[in-house]
Amino acid sequence: TTAAVDKPIAVAGYVKKPQNLTDVLMNARKIMDTCAACDISGAGRCNGKGPCGETVPGMGGKRLSFVRNIEAFEEVSLNMRTVHNITQPKTEINLLGVKLSMPILTGITGGLTYNMGAANKLAFDGEMMTEEKYARGIIQGAANSGTIGWAADGIGDPLETYKRRMNVVQEFKGRAVAQIKPRTQKEIFERIDIVQQAGAPFFAIDVDSAGRAARALPGKTVEPKDLKKLKEIVNYAKIPFIAKGIMTVDEALMCAEAGCGAIIVSNHGGRVLSSTPATMHVLPSIVKAVRDRGYKMPILMDGGVRDGGDVLKALAYGAQAVLVGRPMIRASLGGGVEGVEMLFKRYHTELVSSMVLTGVADVNNVDPSILIQEV
Ligand SMILES: Cc1cc2nc3c(=O)[nH]c(=O)nc-3n(C[C@H](O)[C@H](O)[C@H](O)COP(=O)(O)O)c2cc1C
């Protein structure tokens, strides 16, 4: 979390009561050093081609993974179909026993004060921007929108910092979930206890953070998890364990075999390995392999989901729900709880209109034929 400082840095020119997403992004642009919050009018679609050039935080080296995620959504089009009687499509889902108003969750993003250069600064509301304040924007904003927000775990975070974030999770009991880094098994179990006490209905481990072992500080180790370790985690936890960062069919099947509650197909938004396939490119084969073997485990995805149309495309490829990373970061930093609510509302409205315009009645039953591959 942000250390207390004598003199917080004041920022000039905020829109104090942001009325819309443009205001929110204007504010986000002011508080962040490392992201230009570009494409203000388009509500910040963040494709790595804006004024940041190659500096979108943590795009990773050659930034290919990040850009491919975005481009993969552009390669497929939605097949427009409007001769039907669907006027009020259903967007609710049940994810691991939790009812969500839409198949969209916040991304799992931590360290926003240091990753985005917002540390020690006063936010638009005059309060100091801290990790807890950021987490509140995400979690309360999602809960108010009828969906779920994530609290993150930073590799360097002491247990105390993690516990403070879990206080926010506890406050929104049942409507907030938590992530744990792929630490040693003992440290993971310690954190699972805290997450369960906070009342989270499930938790995730970003197994793709294992490569950060090389950069870990002494005593702050992360490690890859093999099938045996995945099973140990499943057995220890009383709530479902979601493996995040799955990009191959065989690992998806190992997660299913281990008893994972769900997986998140993700390349960490391109932050961990700079040249991976796009998540949308690997999603269909993973879905097919898992379903062909009869596993019902939900399959989520993230990376480059920038509007409601993208959400529908991911569902057509077989995802049950998506997570939205960078756009949510800006919404929370620039507009707090209300900023995140506004962004969820935008995604929901776009999803509903995309469903009407493609003849989809229910997000739980999206036919792949609504997609046309661009050639
Ligand atoms: C600043 C930042 C911090 C992140 N921190 C975490 C984290 O602590 N744990 C995690 O599992 N993923 C983390 N991620 C990755 C996101 O959860 C997610 O996979 C990715 O951002 C999704 O892509 P999108 O930003 O294009 O929507 C982070 C991403 C960003 C941009």
**How many other C-beta atoms are found inside a 10 Å radius of the C-beta of residue 292?**
9
310, containing H or E segment = helix 308-316
- Residue 261, marked binder: no
- Residue 297: φ, ψ to 5°: -45, 125
**Ligand 1: centre distance to CA 84 (Å):** 39
187 CB within 6 A, ligand 1: no
- Residue 271, marked binder: yes
325 CB within 6 A, ligand 1: yes
Q: Which of 222, 268, 279, 283 to mutate to test the pocket of ligand 1 (most atoms within 8 A of CB)?
A: 268
Angle, in degrees to the nearest 10, between helices 249-258 and 227-236:
40
Q: Which of 165, 271, 279 to mutate to test the pocket of ligand 1 (most atoms within 8 A of CB)?
A: 271
- Residue 330, marked binder: no
What are 6's two structure tokens?
Answer: 């004598």
Question: For residue 278, which of 329, 226, 321, 313 has the smallest C-alpha distance?
Answer: 313
User: Residue with the nearest Cα to atom 30 of ligand 1?
Assistant: 109
The one-digit pLDDT tens for each residue of the chain (375 residues) are: 445 555 789 999 999 999 999 999 999 989 987 776 666 555 456 776 665 655 555 555 667 888 899 999 999 999 999 999 999 999 999 999 999 999 999 999 988 887 788 888 999 999 999 988 999 999 999 999 999 999 999 888 888 989 989 999 999 989 999 999 999 999 999 999 999 999 999 999 999 999 876 555 666 689 999 999 999 999 999 999 999 999 999 999 999 999 999 999 999 998 888 889 999 999 999 999 999 999 999 999 999 999 999 999 999 999 999 999 999 999 999 999 999 999 999 999 999 999 999 999 999 999 999 999 876
What are the start-end ranges of the E strands in 45-157? 76-78, 93-95, 98-100, 104-106, 149-151
303 CB within 6 A, ligand 1: yes
107 CB within 6 A, ligand 1: yes
240 CB within 6 A, ligand 1: no
266 CB within 6 A, ligand 1: yes
Decide: 363 and 89 in contact? Cβ < 8 Å: yes
- Residue 141, marked binder: no
User: Residue with the nearest Cα to atom 6 of ligand 1?
Assistant: 109
Q: Which domains does the chain have, with CATH numbers?
A: 93-373 (3.20.20.70)
Q: What amino acid positions are annotated as catalytic residues?
A: 268
- Residue 306, marked binder: yes
CA angle, residues 358, 360, 364, in degrees to nearest 5: 140
Q: State the amino acid at position 131 in one-letter form.
A: E
Q: Between the CA of residue 133 and those of 2, 127, 163, what are the distances in Å?
A: 10, 9, 14
271 CB within 6 A, ligand 1: yes
Q: Which of 1, 67, 73, 108 to mutate to test the pocket of ligand 1 (most atoms within 8 A of CB)?
A: 108
**Ligand 1: centre distance to CA 224 (Å):** 18
ipTM: 0.99
